[in-house]
Amino acid sequence: MPTPVKSSKIVRVTRANSRSAVKDRLRRINWDFPNAGNGDSIHSVHPYPARFIADIPRTLIRELPFPRGTAVLDPFCGCGTTLVEAQAAGFSSVGIDLNPIACLIARVKTQALPVGLSAASAAVVHAAKAIRAPIIPPIPNLDHWFQKPVQAAIASLTSEIESLPPGDLPDHMRLALSSILVRVSNQDSDTRYAAVGKRVSADQVFAQFLAACRRLEDAKAHLPFSFPQSHVIQRDILDVTPDRVPLPIGLVITSPPYPNAYEYWLYHKYRMWWLGYDPVAVKAKEIGARAHYFKKNHPTVDDFRNQMRSVFSLLSRVTVPSGFLCIVIGRSRIHGQDIDNGTLLTEIAVDVGFLNIVRITRNILSTRKSFNLSHARIVTEDLLVFQRPPDRK
């Protein structure tokens, strides 16, 4: 187990770290982070909708006195921001997510850079260019979103990557390829799901793939930390049992999906198809996906409450005594009804045994929104902090 950051805030249980002191300390922080920016860092190697700004988990890890010798867990880990910030602070981490693209990104970001990525990616491109009749997978509506030369180039790259021995090296290449797929497609952007006319050649696909590999290599080469162990589990959180969590958890930091808001499967579905995953299966189990709320027998607030109760029950069992649970969540709207998710989750957390520490509302800067979701009206979100009671012996 890596040694945690040497800070009295983390390793000592003192009066300064009482629940009231922690509450006061957290309230003094400007959680809007007006100057936040992930920049050209490891957090920016792949597009991801509505991702955490790194300042949130970074600050929570620094400020909360979670028990020494424990790990950080994100049960909806997305692209792995919390896991990377845990590593940067010297802690092991566990991430869980249903979405295979999310897990790929999180897994690669928390792995050390494999030796020979530049040479191996160049060899893959050289071999891919030599394929004269690549097998195009049977992806729905493919001609609408990808031009024929682009399809051939992507199919050639995936074929060559899949021919490599399993390991970190092909995973890094899959991430690099995934990161450029929207750019070389007819989709307007990662934040607008509409087809537009683009002129993209096969050579541009190969060049952008190599550039993505270089960006990934450069981002990791400049990381100021080693890589404490990180476990990324691709699984529906509702199917996870405590024995699946491989480390004792002292701090949970996560942003659960908002009901009737983001659709992660939609913005990654062609990435999933190209990399051999099933986006339809992901859609069926994605909590909160907007599409679910337009079915004839659509989910209700009670359905979301029951799902979150299951998740929080798991968290109460894997979090060690005196460990912390931190939730970032916004309000949502379901068929004209405004849902105060912060209050709903607070009630659940307390009901399963957590102590309520603080609730802080933060503004979401307009420049930080990943895409326009006017139907969700998400302009603020709540930071909820709870603590599991200490053992009473």
Do 212 and 149 belong to one domain? yes
Do 191 and 279 belong to one domain? no
Do 230 and 271 belong to one domain? yes
Q: Are strands 71-74 and 93-97 parallel, antiparallel or unpaired?
A: parallel
Q: How much is the pLDDT for 377?
A: 53
Q: How much is the pLDDT for 301?
A: 85
pLDDT digits (tens, 9 = 90+) for 130-184: 999 999 999 999 999 999 999 999 999 999 999 999 999 999 999 999 999 999 9
Q: Give the residue among 105, 114, 90 at the shortest CA–CA distance from 232.
A: 105
Q: How much is the pLDDT for 374?
A: 45
Do 282 and 374 belong to one domain? yes
Domain end call among 205, 221, 237:
221
Do 312 and 371 belong to one domain? yes
Do 321 and 208 belong to one domain? no
Domain end call among 161, 192, 221:
221
Report the CATH number that the domain containing residue 298 is assigned in CATH: 3.40.50.150
112-119, long-range: CB < 8 A, 24+ apart: 112/168, 112/220, 112/226, 112/227, 113/172, 113/217, 113/220, 113/221, 114/167, 114/168, 114/169, 114/172, 116/169, 117/169, 117/172, 117/173, 117/213, 117/216, 117/217, 118/213, 118/214, 118/217
Mean pLDDT for all residues in the chain: 89
Do 238 and 381 belong to one domain? yes
Does the predicted TM-score (pTM) go above 0.85?
Answer: yes
pLDDT digits (tens, 9 = 90+) for 337-382: 788 999 999 999 999 999 999 999 999 876 544 333 444 456 889 9
Mean pLDDT, residues 28-41: 81
Residue 108 located in a structural domain: no
In whole angstroms, give the CA distance from residue 65 to residue 249: 13
Q: How much is the pLDDT for 260?
A: 66
pLDDT at 211 exceeding the cut of 70: yes
Q: How much is the pLDDT for 39?
A: 55
Q: How much is the pLDDT for 261?
A: 67
Q: How much is the pLDDT for 226?
A: 85
Do 263 and 355 belong to one domain? yes
pLDDT at 225 exceeding the cut of 60: yes
Q: How much is the pLDDT for 365?
A: 73
**Which of the two residues, 191 and 75, has the higher pLDDT score?**
75
Mean pLDDT, residues 232-260: 94
Do 305 and 354 belong to one domain? yes
Residue 360 located in a structural domain: yes
Q: Which of 79-88, 325-334, 381-390 has the lowest mean pLDDT?
A: 325-334
3-state SS, the chain, equals: CCCCCCCHHHHCCCHHHCHHHHHHHHHCCCCCCCCCCCCCCHHHCCCCCCCCCCHHHHHHHHHCCCCCCCEEEECCCCCCHHHHHHHHCCCCEEEEECCHHHHHHHHHHCCCCCCCHHHHHHHHHHHHHCCCCCCCCCCCCHHHHCCHHHHHHHHHHHHHHHCCCCCHHHHHHHHHHHHHHHHHCCEEECCEEEECCCCCCHHHHHHHHHHHHHHHHHHHHCCCCCCCCEEEEECCHHHCCHHHCCCCEEEEEECCCCCCCCCHHHHHHHHHHHCCCCHHHHHHHCCCCHHHHHCCCCCCHHHHHHHHHHHHHHHHHHEEEEEEEEEEEECEEECCEEECHHHHHHHHHHHCCCEEEEEEEEECCHHHCCCCCCCCCCCEEEEEEEECCCCCC
Q: How much is the pLDDT for 238?
A: 97
pLDDT digits (tens, 9 = 90+) for 259-291: 766 677 888 999 999 999 999 999 989 887 666
Residue 155 located in a structural domain: yes
**pLDDT bucket at 14, cuts 50 / 70 / 90:** low
Residue 87 located in a structural domain: yes
Residue 112 located in a structural domain: no
Q: How much is the pLDDT for 7?
A: 36
Do 83 and 181 belong to one domain? no
**pLDDT bucket at 258, cuts 50 / 70 / 90:** confident
**pLDDT bucket at 191, cuts 50 / 70 / 90:** confident
What percentage of the chain reaches a pLDDT higher than 90?
72
**pLDDT bucket at 8, cuts 50 / 70 / 90:** very low
Residue 264 located in a structural domain: yes
pLDDT digits (tens, 9 = 90+) for 288-300: 766 666 667 777 8
**pLDDT bucket at 236, cuts 50 / 70 / 90:** very high
Do 88 and 169 belong to one domain? no
In whole angstroms, give the CA distance from residue 282 to residue 264: 9
Number of domains the chain is built from: 2
Which of 35-44, 136-145, 327-336 holds the top average pLDDT?
136-145
Q: Which two tokens stand for residue 276?
A: 């051999």
Domain end call among 221, 241, 275:
221
pLDDT at 75 exceeding the cut of 80: yes
Q: How much is the pLDDT for 299?
A: 72
Residue 106 located in a structural domain: no
Q: How much is the pLDDT for 15?
A: 59
**Which of the two residues, 17 and 29, has the higher pLDDT score?**
29
Do 160 and 134 belong to one domain? yes
Domain containing 268: what range? Answer: 8-100+226-387
Residue 308 located in a structural domain: yes
